[in-house]
Structure 1
Amino acid sequence: MEMQTILIVDDEKEIRDLVDIYLKGEGYKTIKACDGEEALEIIENENVDLVILDVMMPRLNGIDTCLKIRENRDMPIIMLSAKTEDIDKILGLNMGADDYLTKPFNPLELVARVRSQLRRFYRFSSKVLKEEINENIIQIDDLTINLDTHEIILSDNMVKLTPTEFDILALLAKNRGKVFSIENIYESVWNQELMTSDNTVMVHIRKIREKLEENPRKPRFIKTVWGVGYKIEK
């Protein structure tokens, strides 16, 4: 397994060095920062698995740093503070911290909490990954089609399709690369034969494109195969 990286953020050099020694002794890679601003720069440029974050620091304190991290990161955060009041612990946890340890602390207890948080985090991440592999979730570039919940997500935004529009999109998505004629689509979705000169399918395709495409005239998803029908490419 690749060595996990712990970011130690504290304005007291003695504490940074002490925690560094114990974590390295347990086989972790460490990076040290003396305040929140330096920590945020490191997180932007390094792969950090867990952050140990002091509350009282100059320039950018631990609470504000925690909030900044949580804007786009979900790694575990353990906060350190000399404050022992319950309200301070609650504040830290409410701001996005996963655990809280008051100073002075036993370094061995901190190491145990680091190990526990990493184990919990990666066990949860593994579970999420397995759920994402669900065969009933179809991913096409930035488009996600959930066949179980009938949800459509495009670039992290929910798209509302009518049940019929969803069924057409799902039919094409489940059979990527296969061209469906208008007759094929109609008979598969409506479960009846297509009446001559019925343009129902074309109207629904146009509506789907209007909801999914930046430029419906140049669609990324549902392609027209002229003289044959429609498909979603592989």
Structure 2
Amino acid sequence: MNALVLIVEDETEIGEILDAFLAREGFRTVRAEDGRAALQLHFALKPDLVLLDVNLPRLDGWEVLAELRRRGNTPVIMLTALAQDIDRIQGLRLGADDYVVKPFNAVEVVARAKAVLRRSSLGHEKGILRVNELEIDLESYQVSLVHKGKRQVIQLTLTEFRLLAHMAKAPMRVFTRGELVDACLPGSDALERTVDSHISNLRRKVDVTGALGMLSIVRGVGYRLVAGHKTKDA
């Protein structure tokens, strides 16, 4: 069955244009014009991708994104007239997978949607990667910290998961930002500083479990996942 895209846009004309272009490319679509309706449709239909405007009635896009991330890892592309880097970084910190600034070309949005969905389904690998007490389930897209017989699930966005899984395949190797963009955000126009935002979120989530410093920065080079790390009781 073709992917279902939830379009959350309060400007009817823009919503209709996105709907038409996505349908032409074979996507199924459903539309919401305010934040509460978006969350209701997301809960009921479990779409494969959400195109999410920021300036919405009832609940704004940031509030909707935060709730979507509490629920799980549905890929989200933000659609907004806010073009400042600080707005882009805020979206990435809240867990957005991509960010498109208005006015945009609907063809570009469709291309971004395809790229994000492709990343979400790339290489459906099976098995579990283990680095110290981290367990990364490549099939269920779940990351857990297993410490002293207790399992703590770490809620990650899809991009954060892909970054962690990629580095876990070669612990102690230093990955440049460019390598991480190519491996984990293919088909997008993500800048290297976008990786910094995703890694910052990922480090914070891992650190909270007690695995402090497991994701480390190698200044002037990139990032690595540290093997042989001892987890502290959080």
1:74 Cα deviation after fit: 0.3
Query: Is residue 131 from structure 1 mapped to residue 130 from structure 2 by the alignment?
Result: no
Distance 2:153 2:121 in 1: 23
Q: Based on CA coordinates, which of the two structures has the bigger radius of gyration? A: 1
SS of equivalent residue, structure 2 residue 23: helix
Distance 2:85 2:67 in 1: 23
Distance 2:92 2:147 in 1: 35
SS of equivalent residue, structure 2 residue 127: helix
One-letter code aligned to 1:107: A
TM-score computed with the length of structure 2 as normaliser:
0.55
SS of equivalent residue, structure 1 residue 78: strand
Q: Which residue of 2 aligns with 1:109?
A: 108
Q: Which runs of 5+ in 1 are unaligned?
A: 138-145, 158-234
Query: Is residue 7 from structure 1 mapped to residue 1 from structure 2 by the alignment?
Result: no
Q: Which residue of 2 aligns with 1:51?
A: 50
Identical residues among aligned pairs (%)? 40
Q: Which residue of 1 aligns with 2:77?
A: 78
Extract structure 1 runs of 4+ deviating beyond 3 A.
Answer: 149-157
One-letter code aligned to 2:127: E
Equivalent residue pairs, number: 141
Q: Which residue of 2 aligns with 1:176?
A: none
Tell me the C-alpha RMSD between the 2 structures.
Answer: 2.5
Using a 3 Å threshold, how does the CA distance of structure 1 residues 153 and 84 change in structure 2: closer, same or farther?
Answer: same
1:64 Cα deviation after fit: 0.7
One-letter code aligned to 1:76: P
SS of equivalent residue, structure 2 residue 50: strand
Using a 3 Å threshold, how does the CA distance of structure 1 residues 82 and 131 change in structure 2: closer, same or farther?
Answer: same
Q: Which runs of 5+ in 2 are unaligned?
A: 136-143, 155-234
Distance 2:20 2:46 in 1: 20
1:47 Cα deviation after fit: 2.6
Distance 1:67 1:73 in 2: 10
Distance 2:19 2:95 in 1: 23
TM-score computed with the length of structure 1 as normaliser:
0.55
